[in-house]
Amino acid sequence: MLTNLSDLDLRLIRVFLAVVDAGGLSLAQTVLNVNQSTISTQLSTLEARLGFRLCERGRGGFRLTPKGERFAQAARRMLDVVSDFCEEARNIEKKLSGSLRVGLIGHTDPMHNAKLGMAIAAFRKRDEAVRFHIFNRSPNEIEEQMLAGELDLGIGYFWHRLPDLEYLPLYVETQVAYCGQGHSLFGTDDRISAQDVGNYEWIGRSYPVPEFETRFGQKTYAARADNMEAVAILIMSGRYCGFLPTHFADPYVKLGLLQPLNMDDLVYRVPIHTCLRKTSRRSDIIEAFMSDLRAAMSGLE
């Protein structure tokens, strides 16, 4: 039973994770630069230290046991903490040192992404030694990982308002109705209104969009999608109408694949927020980055 960690244990854990990432002992040989029998011995040593089997290996192939899967997740978290500690120790003289883990939704406006890059650039001018980790996640995943302490900051569209998280408005995204080639409205000058939407088949989202429902009411949808790319594909089938962010739809419009239906009436706006854990005092890293982010985003509305 493992009760403390030695340098040997850390090496064995890294071997184990290399095997997991490679998908088996034979494929891990090149990565680790040791032969398969040595790797097998190292795994057996780690299992003996732990007191349980991590994986099945042999002619039947490589497969993690349920305990092995849980151990792999815990080991990755532990090595991340060790890495952050070493980085912080090397830069202890810096005013800000550590890591900042940011979760972002996909398909956001390139201009706002550029502003986020500007915020990072401004932050890097501080007296800091902070390692950035940026992940693409769904809104649900961002909130779950924020609550689990796996992310420090989230940016996205959040329809929940979880009591342990704080949501701060960042910018507003405009969504407009479109149709595609082959649709009866495509290529015409018809500007259908909100009262006409019931005459056509629409794509709904697999998640609530209160801003849309307040503007147009809840409707029966002919199709559903959980991301912007899927919505665009369905619209381009020529069978449905659907809403897309204008920045996302513009390249398709320029290619002649999509056409806006009525940019004055068939439009709604969704707020993009930063998501933070509620706490009596945030870390200096988060406070500094939030200040740079607000400065970079100012003047966008």
Question: Please, which residues have CB within 8 angstroms of residue 140's CB and are 6 or more apart in sequence?
Answer: 160, 207
Nearest to 284 by CA among 156, 130, 166: 130
What local confidence, expressed as pLDDT, does residue 301 receive? 41
Q: Do domains 7-82 and 172-270 have the same CATH topology?
A: no
CATH number listed for the domain at residues 172-270: 3.40.190.290
265 touches 162 (CB < 8 A): no
- Positive or negative, the Cα torsion across 122, 126, 132, 137? negative
Domain boundaries, the chain: 7-82, 89-170+273-297, 172-270
Task: Enter the pTM of the model.
Answer: 0.68
DSSP-assigned states of every residue in 184-222: TTTTS-----GGGGGGS-BEEESS--HHHHHHH-----S
Question: Which of these CATH numbers, 1.10.150.20, 1.10.10.10, 3.40.50.1390, 3.30.360.10, describes 7-82?
Answer: 1.10.10.10
CATH class, domain 89-170+273-297, is alpha beta
241 touches 203 (CB < 8 A): yes
What local confidence, expressed as pLDDT, does residue 98 receive? 84
What local confidence, expressed as pLDDT, does residue 300 receive? 45
For 97, the token pair is 């040192």
What local confidence, expressed as pLDDT, does residue 83 receive? 78
237 DSSP assignment: T
Mean pLDDT by 10 residues, the chain (301 residues): 71 91 87 89 90 86 90 88 74 75 93 94 89 92 93 93 93 94 91 85 90 80 92 96 95 96 92 92 91 83 41
